[in-house]
């Protein structure tokens, strides 16, 4: 049987299973099993070996630790102090609590790599405050959704950890590359809010005016959080600890902070540990299933054939990148960002390598594109995270609120494409 027919059968099985409502990891895994069993004649032990070899990674062990760190902050409620400090420092600016929410999300993103955790946490903390003070609910929900998405870009980022382990790219370089774009995107969100206070003034009540004394107190209240960020990222970029070791250090600091604020409890500790196990197990299933399916496509020759076809079109590097960005934005409506990344990497990497495109740059830029996947229905994870916390909000209402902030994402994407050094400058300065 020709490689083309085999590839079509496997793709049909994969898409058919998705259409039947199977989880993405199950659809990928079963399609891979069909390909290896029926067409490549592998024994069952092969799949166990793939799973072991894929997940037996020191790099991946950072994932549950960073998830645990974020879960401690969320489940103990101490992140509420961060939000309060942000409001005192920048809440007087145009946009008021909206600006404070973005600022707090950016800082929280520098302590945990989970956008879902960030979105759910700030939905519980920020939305009631914004609703009570008269902010437009649709705007508030969308703002929290995109603000939570900053956690997938500002290091540490779970997606970048998985990508680095998958492609054998330095996670430290990826973190350094994402730092400037991450805070640029937060700044663009704030600028968007400023503009909207002029063009959509009815959506914003007047900001609260804090005295200089209150702002000074806010700075003091923010110091513990700034210290945690500085310590965790500092030991990584300073070469003192690996990302995995820094994740352990960060988890310890999270527990210390919760104890310091007298919010630590056995229930919160247990709940956080279970969250780390549950999310890490889900990621492990996705990564292993994607590896199996990707190897099927590689061994039947589909990935090389696809790369040859795309390169044979004679398009420029930028034209191909635009097509990839659009493709990812469309796929993001139907797949979560991590699954989307891992399914497409076997096809995309040969194309990137043919144009000598940095894998560090691509990893960071993909995460920028992933910001849209997190908030586009029907499968945007941040939409469901907020919906679970605020049941009265509809997925469409939350997604509609995010549309105000899409121009900021597109502007950052264009800047990073036109000026790759926005991503590559810091890794080159720090580690070359």
Taking residue 290's Cβ as centre, other Cβ atoms within 10 Å add up to: 27
Q: What pLDDT does 179 receive?
A: 92
Span 73-118, pLDDT tens digits: 888 888 888 888 888 888 888 888 888 989 888 888 777 777 777 8
Contact in structure between 344 and 408 (CB atoms under 8 Å): no
CA–CA distance, 427 with 418 (Å, rounded to integer): 18
**Which tokens is 121 given?**
């946490």
CA–CA distance, 16 with 20 (Å, rounded to integer): 6
Chain mean pLDDT for the chain: 86
Q: What pLDDT does 53 receive?
A: 76
Give the CA distances from residue 243 to residues 111, 136, 175, 342, in Å, rounded to whole numbers and listed in that order: 12, 39, 9, 21
Q: Which of 198, 303, 237, 253 is nearest to 65 (CA)?
A: 253
- Domain residue spans of the chain: 3-431
Contact in structure between 152 and 158 (CB atoms under 8 Å): yes
Q: What pLDDT does 55 receive?
A: 77
Q: What pLDDT does 377 receive?
A: 75
Q: Write the secondary structure of the chain as one string of H (helix), E (strand) and C (coil).
A: CCHHHHHHHHHHHHHHHHHCCCCHHHHHHHHHHHHHHHHCCCCHHHHHHHHHHHHCCCCCCHHHHHHHHHHHHHHHCCHHHHHHHHHHHHCCCCCCHHHHHHHHHHHHHCCCCCHHHHHHHHHHHHHHHHHHCCCCHHHHHHHHHHHHHHHHCCCCCHHHHHHHHHHCCCHHHHHHHHHHHHHHHHHHHHHHHHHHHHHCHHHCCCCCCCCHHHHHHHHHHHHHHHHHHHHHHHHHHCCCCCHHHHHHHHHHHHHHHHHHCCCCCHHHHHHHHHHHHHHHHHHHHHHHHHHHHHHHHHHCCHHHHHHHHHHHCCCCHHHHHHHHHHHHHHHCCCCCHHHHHHHHHHHHHHHHHHCCCCHHHHHHHHHHHHHHHCCCCCCCHHHHHHHHHCCCCCHHHHHHHHHHHHHHHHHHHHHHHHCCHHHHHHHHHHHC
Q: Which residues of the chain have pLDDT under 50?
A: none
Give the CA distances from residue 137 to residues 80, 145, 215, in Å, rounded to whole numbers and listed in that order: 20, 12, 27
Q: What pLDDT does 1 receive?
A: 66
């Amino acid at each position: 049987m020709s490689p083309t027919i085999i590839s079509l059968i496997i793709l049909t099985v994969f898409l058919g299973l998705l259409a039947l409502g199977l989880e993405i990891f199950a659809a990928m895994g079963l399609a891979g099993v069909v390909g290896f069993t029926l067409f490549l004649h592998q024994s069952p032990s092969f799949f166990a070996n793939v799973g072991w070899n894929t997940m037996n990674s020191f790099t991946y062990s950072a994932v549950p630790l960073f998830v645990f760190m974020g879960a401690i902050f969320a489940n103990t409620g101490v992140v509420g102090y961060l939000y309060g400090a942000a409001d005192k420092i920048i809440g007087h600016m145009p946009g008021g609590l909206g600006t404070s929410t973005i600022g707090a999300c950016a800082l929280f993103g520098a302590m945990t790599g989970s956008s879902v955790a960030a979105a759910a946490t700030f939905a519980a903390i920020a939305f009631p405050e914004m609703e009570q003070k008269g902010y437009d609910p649709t705007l508030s929900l969308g703002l929290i959704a995109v603000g939570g998405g900053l956690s997938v870009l500002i290091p540490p980022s779970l997606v970048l950890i998985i990508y680095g382990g998958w492609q054998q790219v330095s996670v430290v370089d990826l973190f350094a590359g994402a730092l400037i774009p991450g805070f640029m995107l937060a700044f663009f969100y704030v600028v968007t809010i400023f503009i909207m206070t002029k063009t959509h003034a009815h959506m914003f009540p007047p900001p609260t005016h804090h005295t200089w004394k209150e702002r000074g107190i806010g700075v003091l209240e923010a110091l513990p959080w700034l210290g945690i960020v500085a310590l965790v990222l500092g030991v990584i970029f300073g070469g003192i600890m690996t990302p995995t070791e820094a994740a352990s250090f960060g988890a310890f600091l999270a527990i210390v902070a919760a104890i310091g604020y007298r919010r630590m409890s056995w229930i919160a500790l247990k709940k956080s540990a279970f969250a780390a196990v549950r999310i890490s197990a889900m990621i492990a299933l996705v990564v292993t299933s994607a590896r199996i399916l990707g190897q099927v496509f590689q061994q039947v020759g589909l990935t090389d054939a696809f790369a040859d076809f795309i390169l044979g079109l004679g398009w420029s590097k930028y034209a191909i990148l635009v097509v990839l960005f659009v493709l990812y934005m469309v796929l993001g409506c139907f797949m979560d960002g991590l699954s989307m990344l891992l399914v497409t990497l076997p096809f995309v990497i040969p194309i990137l390598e043919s144009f000598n495109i940095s894998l560090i740059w691509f990893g960071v830029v993909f995460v920028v594109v992933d910001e849209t996947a997190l908030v586009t229905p029907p499968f945007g994870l941040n939409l469901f995270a907020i919906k679970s916390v605020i049941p009265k909000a509809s997925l469409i209402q939350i997604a509609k609120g995010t549309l105000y902030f899409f121009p900021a994402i597109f502007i950052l994407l264009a800047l990073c494409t036109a000026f790759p050094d926005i991503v590559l400058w810091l890794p080159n300065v720090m580690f070359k």
